[in-house]
């Protein structure tokens, strides 16, 4: 006898067997309207998940360690951004215990922090942690130690699937999301950019050049994009947040004491950098030959990445070195005549 539709779905009518928890929007609105809370002011939203992305050697791990040191010690990140102090965890599968030890010794000296002041800074290095295999153990450890920030270095080391496959990466990302939600902690994945060398890809914003499936973009709450020359001490940091306004890019500089080897990361005034000098000259030269022109045209046509050019362009406007001409921009007449 053929079953009716009502018969077929009758087993799902009883609320006690539902695997989800529906809620009325009216109930949702009875709770206070949420406000953005920062783990690291302007850099990372509290209890969020996301990525630090960049090419090899540009300073991704240094930036992650800076965030970990800041939260663990309660001292400002990059010497400027306030933090919520708490325990942190680094899950390190990219480098060795010796490499990590050397870095943390250098950074501790740079901050004037003693080893016994970092008892709330935990690490799991080269212990072959895999996701989702060790998910439940990690959640238990994080909750037991009230960890506020967990960094996984790097994403590719925690799974063995094709990062370009949405179907294969979804269980991995779901597992990291459960760690974030169930343990009520911030989860940071260090990740690499695509190796594509074509000019079109190079000009894309760093967030659009991440390696792997586009599901990474949908999964994230926060992204820090780091760009620079490999093994140099200066890099540009860009930010993208789902729920908060993204700040303008900043330059970070890794200062190394020649005698003690102490390492300190700080925000560098962009106007004091060689990159600003090069970019501003390229923008002014381009505009001199093509004026008037739109900001988008100038930033795309000048040397370097469009996103960074846009930041330099805005600073040149603030300085009065570029002026508005209708809907476009040009150099001041005094500059063209050589009187400025």
Do residues 49 and 187 touch, judged by C-beta distance below 8 A?
yes
Global pTM reads 0.82
* pLDDT tens-digit profile, the chain (340 residues): 555 555 655 655 555 677 888 899 999 999 999 999 999 999 999 999 999 999 999 999 999 999 999 999 999 999 999 999 999 999 999 999 999 999 999 999 999 998 889 999 999 999 999 999 999 999 999 999 999 999 999 999 999 999 999 999 999 999 999 999 999 999 999 999 988 665 555 567 888 899 999 999 999 999 999 998 899 998 989 999 999 999 888 889 999 999 999 999 999 877 777 778 888 999 999 999 998 999 999 988 888 777 678 878 888 988 889 999 888 999 987 665 554 4
CB atoms within 10 A of CB 195: 9
- The answer for residues whose C-beta is within 8 angstroms of residue 328's C-beta and 6 or more apart is 291, 292, 293, 294
Give the contacts of 305 (CB within 8 A, at least 6 positions apart): 202, 203, 205, 227
Q: Which domains does the chain have, with CATH numbers?
A: 38-268 (3.40.50.300), 274-336 (1.10.10.10)
> 273-309: b or e for each residue (b if 16 or more CB lie within 10 Å)?
eebbeebbebbbebbeeeebbebeebbebbeebbbbb
Question: How far is CA 129 from each of CA 93, 123, 229, rounded to the nearest angstrom?
Answer: 8, 12, 31
The number of beta carbons lying within 10 Å of the beta carbon of residue 337 is 9
């Amino acid at each position: 006898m053929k079953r009716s539709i009502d018969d077929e779905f009758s087993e799902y009518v009883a609320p006690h067997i539902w695997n989800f928890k529906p809620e009325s929007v009216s109930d949702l609105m009875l709770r206070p309207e949420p406000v953005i809370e920062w783990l690291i002011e302007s850099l990372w939203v509290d209890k969020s998940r996301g990525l630090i992305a960049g090419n090899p050697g540009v300073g991704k791990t240094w930036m992650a360690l800076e965030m970990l040191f800041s939260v663990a010690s309660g001292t400002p990140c990059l010497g400027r951004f306030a933090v919520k102090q708490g325990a942190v965890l680094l899950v390190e599968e990219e480098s060795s215990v010796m490499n990590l030890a050397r870095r943390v010794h250098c950074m501790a000296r740079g901050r004037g922090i003693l080893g016994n002041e970092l008892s709330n800074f935990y690490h799991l290095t080269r212990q072959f942690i895999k996701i989702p295999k060790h998910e439940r153990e990690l959640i238990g450890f994080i909750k037991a130690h009230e960890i506020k920030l967990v960094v996984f270095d790097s994403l590719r080391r925690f799974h063995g699937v094709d990062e370009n496959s949405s179907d294969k990466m979804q269980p991995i990302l779901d597992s990291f999301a459960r760690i974030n939600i169930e343990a009520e902690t911030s989860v940071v994945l260090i990740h690499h950019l695509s190796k594509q060398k074509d000019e079109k890809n190079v000009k894309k914003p760093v967030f659009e050049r991440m390696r792997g499936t586009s599901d990474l973009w949908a999964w994230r709450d926060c992204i820090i994009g780091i760009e620079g020359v490999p093994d140099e001490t200066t890099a540009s940091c860009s930010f993208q947040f789902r729920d908060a306004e993204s700040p303008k890019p900043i330059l970070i500089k890794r200062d190394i004491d020649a005698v003690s080897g102490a390492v300190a990361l700080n925000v560098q005034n962009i106007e004091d950098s060689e990159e600003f000098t090069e970019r501003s000259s390229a923008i002014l030269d381009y505009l001199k030959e093509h004026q008037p022109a739109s900001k988008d045209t100038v930033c795309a046509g000048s040397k370097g990445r469009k996103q960074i050019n846009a930041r330099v362009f805005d600073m040149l406007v603030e300085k009065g070195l570029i002026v508005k001409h209708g809907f476009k921009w040009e150099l001041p007449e005094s500059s063209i005549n050589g009187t400025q």
